[in-house]
Structure 1
């Protein structure tokens, strides 16, 4: 029983999510190294749409705002990257899909470097 309590106490002190098969060195278990993992995961505390009082669905015509929530390749960013709460993340995704459906935003965005490195005959008409 004491060993179980001791193991439980150690797992509470570790901030890094260890998985089976992970390789680690003894210094990875030190307090300073564990502190890096604790401070490394900071999520935004406030949602931008809640602060501004904006409904994301109504902003489907605002290309500048919609492009902030998309990657260079045209995919919708994850909520971990946007910092939006789930309700607003779904609304912004719906607004982006609506803008793409109406033709206000490109459905597939080609990054200039991707177009430059591709074969020139492929995109010529």
Structure 2
């Protein structure tokens, strides 16, 4: 009996959300597209069909209807799941590597390439050039 109730609850959770008006729907869509599904990792909450994403969509709509701003909803989710839930995390000491890491890797790679090219150019001058002495092989 409990199994049937759990299965029915999951189906009920997947019913389409009902919006009061187009403005509420547009705000909801914008907000859920900028939040990452905590299970799928590379999908937004809007695009994911994971049960947690379905639940989060319902919770976000509930928070909107309670009168919370988009920033308050984002903060609520960050407090619960961490900066990972945001596609664009805030720049702060704990996310510096996330924001500036790719630039550092690119600069380090450029430095290595520059160093290798410079060393090869220097070494070319040290190699004796073969001259043709006119002899046959």
Higher helix proportion: 2
Higher relative contact order (CA 8 A, sep 6+): 1
When Rg is computed on C-alpha atoms for both structures, the one with the higher figure is 2
- Is this a same-fold pair by TM over 0.5? no
**Taking structure 1 as the reference length, what is the TM-score of the superposition?**
0.32
TM-score in terms of structure 2 length: 0.30
